[in-house]
Amino acid sequence: MAETAYAKGLEGVVAAESAISLIDGKAGKLSYRGYAIEDLARHSDFEEVTYLLLYERLPARGQLEAFRRSMRQGRDLSAPVLDMVRSFPPGAHPMELLQSVMAYLSGYVEHRIQHSALCNCRQTLHQVAQIATTVAAFKRLRAGESYVPPRPDLSHGANFLYMLRGAEPEAYEGEIMDKCLVIHAEHGFNASTFTARVVASTLSTCYSSISAAMGALYGSLHGGANEQVMTMVDEIGRKENAAAWVNRALDDKKKVIGMGHREYKVKDPRANILERYLVEISEKKGDSRYYEILKEVERAFRARMETAGKPIYPNVDFFSGAVYSLLGIPKQLFTPVFAMARVSGWLAHVLEQRVDNRIYRPESLYTGPEPLTYIPVEERV
Ligand SMILES: CC(C)(COP(=O)(O)OP(=O)(O)OC[C@H]1O[C@@H](n2cnc3c(N)ncnc32)[C@H](O)[C@@H]1OP(=O)(O)O)[C@@H](O)C(=O)NCCC(=O)NCCS
């Protein structure tokens, strides 16, 4: 067989051009459409960042207000979608529900989807607006509580907490939730974004692209690491136990979840931002147990990595689970919350894919048998 080079997991393969986000793994920098993530987290909000991702520039005031209005108008769930949330199998994971709701909405919208760069999704904003409502409805209906309709006067993040709790969150909680969505909105050609683009490249609907991307995000190697970080924190229990726990895990050749990243060779810039949010929320709630445990884990892990000469630092998932937990979000909703944010990036990639489309069709290296002679079933032993 001829030797053909291939890259397992497509590592190092440049599959497209993209103007949406830039990751500088050595310097620990991330930007959306040229704007540093730190500036967006400081000055912007999720709705404005969604506009930036979809329209390639920051909106003027009037554009932002019109965009906010239309996104907020699209938040409420229609009766058929609510029925779907109610009747979904009791043991289902919310990511399975989200994937199905997305596919369902594709058939439910009155206007048909245009297979073009100017897709209707920029106008309907169903995907971006309704994921948060679906996630909150899932949590409440499963708990035997009533559906809380969205409020148009709250930011996307604050409204999510409101729909989840049935009570308005403190202003700082709403703001932190919204900023968490900002910093998770986009991150280059990761598995779910690539999935969205592959589906878009076949000229399928943007709803199908988002539904497929959700399926990719659902996997434990992609979304879900922050859930595992909180399982670790619960297992450690007290900061005094952290160093021994880390050393034992590393001695057993286990990975410490929330550490390391394929792209970043320094601390993930989003982890720095999330750490500040965790400090703030811990102070406000008078509960710094999670933060203290995580800092001990970070310290013990760094000491071991320095000895081993490995540049491995906290990634975005290291602090986010603790922030969500202090906001009262149950662990099962962490990946859906990730989807709520990342959908803006997925849509931007779907639109970009369509501008200069070519269907994705890589090749594989055949490792099956040489040609065989077909034997009729009567003659097979
Ligand atoms: C994110 C991740 C998959 C990146 O992986 P990668 O760039 O392919 O790096 P590898 O998994 O090949 O690891 C390279 C080396 O660093 C070590 N390493 C990487 N992450 C580690 C971690 N979290 N804990 C302990 N060791 C780690 C590996 O054991 C390996 O060591 P070796 O060379 O001695 O075998 C990896 O760091 C990881 O599994 N992290 C934990 C899961 C996680 O937090 N995922 C969320 C990512 S946002």
- Active-site residue, from 45, 178, 268, 317: 317
Q: State pTM to two decimals.
A: 0.94
Q: What is the mean pLDDT of residues 353-378?
A: 95
The yes-or-no answer on residue 261 being catalytic is: yes
DSSP class of residue 10? Answer: G
Could you tell me if 200 and 354 are in contact, meaning their C-beta atoms sit under 8 angstroms apart? yes
Q: What is the mean pLDDT of residues 55-63?
A: 97
Strand partners, 22: 31
- Beta strands (DSSP E) in 25-116 are 29-32, 35-36
- Active-site residue, from 178, 261, 268, 349: 261
Distance between CA atoms of residues 113 and 298, nearest Å: 47
Strand partners, 88: none
- pLDDT digits 0-9 by tens, 257-290: 999 998 899 999 999 999 999 999 999 999 999 9
Report the pLDDT value the prediction gives residue 1, as an integer from 0 to 100.
44
Report the pLDDT value the prediction gives residue 106, as an integer from 0 to 100.
79
The yes-or-no answer on residue 234 being catalytic is: no
Pocket test for ligand 1, best of 30, 255, 263, 268 (most atoms within 8 A of CB): 255
12 CA from centroid of ligand 1 (Å): 16
- pLDDT digits 0-9 by tens, 303-346: 999 999 998 999 999 999 999 999 999 999 999 999 999 999 99
Per-residue H/E/C for 335-377: HHHHHHHHHHHHHHHHHHHHHCCCCCCCCCCCCCCCCCCCCCH
Kindly tell me if the per-residue pLDDT of 159 is higher than 90. yes
Pocket (CB within 6 angstroms of ligand 1): 225, 255-262, 310, 312, 315-317
List the domains of the chain with CATH numbers. 19-220+332-355 (1.10.580.10), 225-326 (1.10.230.10)
- pLDDT digits 0-9 by tens, 79-119: 999 999 999 998 999 999 999 999 888 776 655 555 566 66
Distance between CA atoms of residues 161 and 133, nearest Å: 10
Report the pLDDT value the prediction gives residue 292, as an integer from 0 to 100.
98
